[in-house]
Structure 1
Amino acid sequence: MTRRRNHRVSIINLNTGRGARATSHPYPTRTPVLALDFGAVSVLVTTSAGDLVTAADVDFARQLAREADQFARSVERSFHGLPNGQGVAA
């Protein structure tokens, strides 16, 4: 990840677990929406405008995909699939 240029004002921590899911919603007449659901909290990731896609939107989508893939690989590596289904940190 690249270094942030501005200071963080706040951090929201959304934990995965039962009920957490990510869903892509491609629409034929508008730009796609990525929904991240964490129980009672939903985060919608959209492009900068509902009717067009910019080069910055494409760059962000590619970065998001790379980082999500890295996150998934790290989680898989950390999970050892114990019989109790809990796993342990590597």
Structure 2
Amino acid sequence: MTRRRTPRNSVIRLTTGRAARTLNHPFARREPVLALDFGATSVLVTTNGPVTFEDLEFARQLARESYRFARSLERSFHGLPDGKGVAA
């Protein structure tokens, strides 16, 4: 991850749980929309017009960091009560 050039002026924390889900909405005639749903709160990720190289790079970074996040969760998960699950 690269170092931030500007300081954060706010942080929004959205925690996962039973109501959390992600959905990709591909459209034939416009840019796709990625929806991150957290119960009553939704975050929509899309471009500001025609897709640019920077948009593609952001999408690749998002995919890479999401994969790393999932791997970190897998390493932290101690398993389900029935004994099935990923070992910590």
TM-score normalised to the size of structure 1?
0.88
What is the alpha-carbon distance in structure 1 between the residues aligned to residue 47 and residue 2 of structure 2? 20
Aligned partner (choices 51, 54, 60) of residue 53 of structure 1: 51
Runs of 4+ deviating beyond 6 Å: none
Aligned partner (choices 69, 72, 83) of residue 70 of structure 2: 72
The aligned length equals: 85
What is the alpha-carbon distance in structure 2 between the residues aligned to residue 48 and residue 70 of structure 1? 27
What is the alpha-carbon distance in structure 1 between the residues aligned to residue 72 and residue 20 of structure 2? 18
RMSD across aligned positions (CA): 1.7
Identity level (%): 68
SS in 2 for 1:15: coil
What is the alpha-carbon distance in structure 1 between the residues aligned to residue 69 and residue 17 of structure 2? 15
Q: Any conservation in 2 of the 1:21–1:38 contact (CA below 8 Å)? A: yes
What is the alpha-carbon distance in structure 1 between the residues aligned to residue 29 and residue 78 of structure 2? 43
Structure 1 residues without counterparts, runs of 5 or longer: none
- Corresponding position: 1:62 with 2:77: no
What is the alpha-carbon distance in structure 1 between the residues aligned to residue 24 and residue 33 of structure 2? 6
Structure 2 residues without counterparts, runs of 5 or longer: none
